[in-house]
Amino acid sequence: MVKYYTPQVEPLKNGKFKYSIRYTDPSFVGVHKSSTTITKNTAHARNLAEIKVKNAIKEKLSIRSVKQITMDKLIDKLEDNLKQQGLAPKTLDAYFAYLINYLSNLKID
């Protein structure tokens, strides 16, 4: 689910306005920003810009790429991602103890 933050309207040097919305991508730690240019700072122009920007965000989020990855590399990336989120060390230990146990049961000899 995408979380949208409060839109911002900034005046530009050429007399137009930049309408931007910050949003969080569920598959990424952090905030992205998407924007468009509007000619007037009216309620109607802001509503049209909001529709345009949210459609652009939906298009960006709908693009999925599939890459081959090993389970070990995937766990390393997951660990980095969870550490960036600031989870407690006990929580991380519990997650990775479970994953290691799960992986050991998956390996076929």
- Residue 108: the pLDDT is 59
Q: What is the mean pLDDT of the chain?
A: 88
Mean pLDDT across 62-91: 83
Q: How much is the pLDDT for 82?
A: 84
Identify whether the C-beta of residue 7 lies closer than 8 Å to the C-beta of residue 54: no
pTM of the model: 0.60
DSSP string, the chain: --EE---EEEE-TTS-EEEEEEEE-TTSSSEEEEEEEESS-SHHHHHHHHHHHHHHHHHHHH--------HHHHHHHHHHHHHHHT--HHHHHHHHHHHHHHHHHH---
Section 82-104 average pLDDT:
86
Q: For residue 61, what are its two tokens?
A: 């989020």
Q: Residue ranges of the domains in the chain?
A: 3-62, 71-106
List, for residues 3-42, the tens digit of each pLDDT value: 899 999 999 999 999 999 999 887 777 889 999 999 999 9
**Upper half-sphere CA count for residue 73 (Cβ side, 13 Å):** 4
Report whether 36 contacts 13 (CB < 8 A).
no
Answer yes or no: is pLDDT of 48 > 90.
yes
